């Protein structure tokens, strides 16, 4: 397919044109887009100063040759660098919400986001409750929590100062700096010593959980992200062991811990066979996200 700008055509036709180029390049998706067509929509909409959802309402509009040229330049950069599109555009969308994005942190994505926005977590989030986002990275999950439950207070922490700088920009973007507290430190070390006044109704965490064997075979797009945000040790459970060990100290009596474990279902079951778990259904299935109630952690 000729990468040069074509005549003035519809947005829909041009998205098809970009999608064909991406498809032919054998890229990997999963950083905000599920396939070439959805990534092409995202890429083109950015050049039109629209959200991907807005662009869907303008598919029959014409796109100028100038905007085509800008989009095709980005397309070639995506193909040549194999970097996630979010890093090239400096922006990612999660559940319809935009986030600033840079290589200082992982690209915003998590199945936990689905559970936040569809109300599945509300039983563990009372009015005036408190939530903690461990391993917050870019801050996207903490922000979605705050937007979905404006009457709760959210604490978000991470070991990476560069990632927290990204999170801080996103808090400012959404006007949430007073509702979300950002802390730096290695998991629980970021928090004050646990006591009755410092407990959370809900702790969410999308930790580094990729096992060592899988890390070695990840596509280039994942290797563009900070390894610190992905690698979970030999069986993927290194951080999860530390999280589960100390979580009871930081949860209220009726609180809960929500963990994303991705493709590590078998490794989790082998590591924690004794813990009663509630598996939460998300678009990827029923083995990616789990919830443990405080009473089952003791």
Quick check: 4 pLDDT over 80?
Answer: no
140-186 pLDDT per residue, tens: 999 999 999 999 999 999 999 999 999 999 999 999 999 999 999 99
Quick check: 295 pLDDT over 90?
Answer: yes
Percent above pLDDT 70 for the chain: 98
Window from 82-91, 102-111, 195-204, 219-228 with minimum mean pLDDT? 195-204
3-state helix, strand, coil in the chain (%, to 5): 40, 20, 40
Give the pLDDT score at 6: 55
- CB within 8 Å of 47: residues ≥ 6 apart: 67, 70, 71, 74
Contact 114, 282 (CB under 8 A): yes
Give the residue-averaged pLDDT of 62-73: 96
Of the pLDDT bands very low, low, confident and very high (cuts 50, 70, 90), residue 286 is very high
Give the residue-averaged pLDDT of 79-104: 96
177-215 pLDDT per residue, tens: 999 999 999 999 999 988 877 899 999 999 999 999 999
Give the residue-averaged pLDDT of 110-125: 96
Distance CA 155, CA 268 (A): 26
Q: Which token pair is 6?
A: 């074509």
Q: Which token pair is 169?
A: 């920009």
232-264 pLDDT per residue, tens: 999 999 999 999 999 999 999 999 999 999 999
Whole-number CA gyration radius for the chain: 20
- How do 153-158 and 91-94 pair as beta strands? unpaired
* Cα–Cα distance list, 251 to 67, 153, 190, 201 (Å): 51, 14, 16, 6
Residue 290: strand, helix, or coil: strand
**Angle between the N-to-C axes of helices 11-24 and 65-81, in degrees from 0 to 180, rounded to the nearest 10:** 20
Quick check: 75 pLDDT over 50?
Answer: yes
- CB within 8 Å of 266: residues ≥ 6 apart: none
Quick check: 1 pLDDT over 60?
Answer: no
Contact 68, 4 (CB under 8 A): no
33-50 pLDDT per residue, tens: 999 999 999 999 999 999
Give the pLDDT score at 194: 82
Quick check: 2 pLDDT over 70?
Answer: no
Helix (H) or strand (E) holding 289: strand 285-293
Contact 239, 211 (CB under 8 A): no
Mean pLDDT of the chain: 95
């Amino acid at each position: 397919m000729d990468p040069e700008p074509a005549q003035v055509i519809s947005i829909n036709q041009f998205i098809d044109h970009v999608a064909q180029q991406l498809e032919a390049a054998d890229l990997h998706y999963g950083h905000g887009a599920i396939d070439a067509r959805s990534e092409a929509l995202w890429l083109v909409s950015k050049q039109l100063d629209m959200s991907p959802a807005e662009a869907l309402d303008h598919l029959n509009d014409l796109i100028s040759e100038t905007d085509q040229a800008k989009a095709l330049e980005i397309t070639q950069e995506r193909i040549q660098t194999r970097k996630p599109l979010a890093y090239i555009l400096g922006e990612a969308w999660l559940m319809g919400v935009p986030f600033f994005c840079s290589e200082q942190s992982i690209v915003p994505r998590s199945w936990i986001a689905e559970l936040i926005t569809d109300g599945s977590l509300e039983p563990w989030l009372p009015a005036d409750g408190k939530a903690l986002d461990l391993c917050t990275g870019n801050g996207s999950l903490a922000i979605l929590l705050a937007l979905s439950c404006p009457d709760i207070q959210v604490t978000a922490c991470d070991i990476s100062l560069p990632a927290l700088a990204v999170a801080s920009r996103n808090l400012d973007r959404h006007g949430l700096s007073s509702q979300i507290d950002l802390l730096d430190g290695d998991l629980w070390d970021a928090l004050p010593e646990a006591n009755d006044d410092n407990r959370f109704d809900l702790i969410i965490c999308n930790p580094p959980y990729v096992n060592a064997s899988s890390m070695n075979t990840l596509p280039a797009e994942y290797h563009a992200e900070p390894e610190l945000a992905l690698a979970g040790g030999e069986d993927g459970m290194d951080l999860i062991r530390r999280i589960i060990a100390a979580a009871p100290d930081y949860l209220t009596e009726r609180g809960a811990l929500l963990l994303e474990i991705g493709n590590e279902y078998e490794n989790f079951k082998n590591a924690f066979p004794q813990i009663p778990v509630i598996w939460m259904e998300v678009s990827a299935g029923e083995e990616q996200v789990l919830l443990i109630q405080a009473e089952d952690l003791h």
